[in-house]
Each structure stands twice: as C-alpha cells, then as structure tokens.
Amino acid sequence: IERLKTDENQRVVMHCHPTNFIAMSFTQTLDEKRLSRILWKMQAESLVVFPEGIGIIPYMTPGTNEIGEATAAKMSEFKVVMWPHHGIFAVGSDPDETFGL
C-alpha cells in the first residue's frame, strides 16, 4: 500500500531469496548507496531497472509487524528492499516487471 502512494501502477509485490543478495548481506557493508553501486556494476541493466538503487532495512526477525512496517516505509522510496541475511521484496506493475527486478 505504501508503494501505491508513490506509483499507483505498481501493484505486484514479490518476496524471494536470491542467493547473491543474501551472500552480499553477509560480506558487504549494509549501505544502500554502496550496495546499489555494486549491483549496477555487476549487471548493467540494474541501473535501468532500479535507478533509485535498493533500500536496506536493519536485520529484524521475519514475520513480525516491525519488519513489515520498516519494509513499507522503505517501499515509499525504493522498488527493491533488502532484508539482510534473508531476501528481498520488490514491486512492479506486472509479474514480468517485478520478477525482472
């Protein structure tokens, strides 16, 4: 719902556990700008797909209201939000766009 305030067309939400993202959350400093730049360098189309970069919330226990609220707050700024040591949430206009993130 928070992302709809930013873009009412982004109605598809996906949660997944991409291995590379999870590994990066263990090996890299959890800094949004730094990790975004790393991802843009790793895969050229990343800059086109999420030019705003990725949001990162602090580690929290999955399944709690706290992590849901923190994710919603980040979704107002970012299409991709990392849950350190767990996975990501992404939003898009349709399943193909969202899965492509």
**Residue 20 C-alpha from the chain's centroid:** 13
How many domains would you assign to the chain? 1
Residue 43 has pLDDT above 90, yes or no: no
How do residues 25-41 score in pLDDT, each as one tens digit? 999 999 999 999 999 99
CATH code of residue 67: 3.40.225.10
The answer to whether 3 and 93 are in contact (CB under 8 A) is no
pLDDT at 6: 66
The residue segments making up the domain with residue 77 are 2-100
What proportion of the chain, given as a percentage, has pLDDT over 70? 91
**CA-based diameter of the chain, in Å?**
35
Calpha distance 55→79 (Å, rounded): 8
81: closest CA among 67, 61, 94? 67
Q: Is the pTM of this model over 0.75?
A: yes
